[in-house]
């Protein structure tokens, strides 16, 4: 049992050595670049949609992407560590509470939308307050009064009002 796990981990390290796999989760809108060979030519075709399922099974990990193409729902399943998957880009993160979003298959239009996840900025410490020396509290009060006294008045615009119909006669 341990040997199979070691083989899988070694294969994953070998496959991820030359390409970076982006972290994503179900509900995210992703753009998957797939290598397609046409004769002697090789090109990359992009498939953009919502990730509705992700299966984490070591080397056999896969994910399913769903998009609406010309009013018809199209789903495509990709192997995560496949050499045919050239790139995975996260377009936007979705806020969902389920791991499998198969219920989106039955929905159309606005009910099939997913709310966007708002990311918090990391590295800002709110708890630390700036320490300013308060040597002369009266000086700060006078500065505030000066700032209030410097308000500029905006010019007033005159508006013409029409006289009621009874006054025009």
Question: Domain limits of the chain?
Answer: 2-105
Question: What pLDDT score does 19 carry?
Answer: 85
Percent of the chain with pLDDT over 70: 70
* CATH architecture for residues 2-105: Roll (2.30)
Q: Average pLDDT in the 115-126 region?
A: 72
For the chain, give the mean pLDDT.
82
Q: Output the DSSP codes for 45-58.
A: EEEEEEEEEEE--G
pLDDT tier for residue 119 given thresholds of 50, 70 and 90: confident
pLDDT, tens digit (0-9, with 9 covering 90-100), for 22-66: 999 999 999 999 999 999 999 999 999 999 999 999 899 999 999
pLDDT tens digits, residue range 89-103? 999 999 999 999 999
Buried b (16+ CB within 10 A) or exposed e, 100-118: ebeebeeeeeeebebeeee
Query: 153 vs 50, which has greater pLDDT?
Result: 50
């Amino acid at each position: 049992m341990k040997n199979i796990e070691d083989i899988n981990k070694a294969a994953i390290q070998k496959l991820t050595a030359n390409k970076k796999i982006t972290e994503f989760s179900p509900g995210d809108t992703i753009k998957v670049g797939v290598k397609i060979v046409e004769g002697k030519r090789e090109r990359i075709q992009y498939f953009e949609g919502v990730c509705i399922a992700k299966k984490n099974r070591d080397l056999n990990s896969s994910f399913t992407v769903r998009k609406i193409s010309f009013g018809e729902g199209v789903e495509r399943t990709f192997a995560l560590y496949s050499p045919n998957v050239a790139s995975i880009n996260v377009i936007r993160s979705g806020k969902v509470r389920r791991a499998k979003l198969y219920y989106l298959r039955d929905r159309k239009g606005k009910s099939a939308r997913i709310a966007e996840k708002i990311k918090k900025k990391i590295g800002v410490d709110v708890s630390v307050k700036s320490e300013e020396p308060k040597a002369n509290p009266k000086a700060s009060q006078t500065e505030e009064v000066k700032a209030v006294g410097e308000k500029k008045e905006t010019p007033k615009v005159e508006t013409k009002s029409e006289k009621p119909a009874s006054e025009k006669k």
